[in-house]
Amino acid sequence: QQPVQSPQAVILREGEDAVINCSSSKALYSVHWYRQKHGEAPVFLMILLKGGEQKGHEKISASFNEKKQQSSLYLTASQLSYSGTYFCGTEMPGWGAAGNKLTFGGGTRVLVKP
């Protein structure tokens, strides 16, 4: 039930673009994206709800394809500060008493070089 992230790692030059995918075999209600710097806590980036909504944070945006049960995170014109590990967290339908319970993917390590 853990979502699958791809690629596992990516190396970019400053200014380059990258796409990170998060796929689930189960129907999803929402997808959360977090970034974690080495030795630090994960930091929230954005939430995608089913319906294909696209959101943005700085030059980072994401989409949610409900038919494919997949979310993609787009790093555009990458900056050095974008380096870190990106995690998607997926939430199944049936929200309510269970709270905002997420299942996280294994992460994608991103290194942006000058």
Partner 1 sequence: NAGVTQTPKFQVLKTGQSMTLQCAQDMNHNSMYWYRQDPGMGLRLIYYSASEGTTDKGEVPNGYNVSRLNKREFSLRLESAAPSQTSVYFCASSEVRFRDNQPQHFGDGTRLSIL
User: Where does this chain bind partner 1 (CB under 8 A)?
Assistant: 2, 29-30, 32, 40-44, 47, 49, 87, 89, 91, 95-107
Q: Give the whole-angstrom CA distance, residue 15 versus residue 47.
A: 25
Minimum distance from CB of 73 to partner 1 (Å)?
Answer: 15
CB-wise, 16 or 104, nearer to partner 1?
104
Exposure of 98 by Cβ count < 10 A (0-12 exposed, 13-18 middle, 19+ buried)? Answer: exposed
Q: How far is the CB of 68 from partner 1 (least distance, A)?
A: 20
CB closer to partner 1 out of 19 and 47: 47
Q: How far is the CB of 58 from partner 1 (least distance, A)?
A: 16
Structure tokens at 83: 């380096």
For 45: left if phi > 0, alpha if psi spans -120 to 50, otherwise beta; the answer is alpha
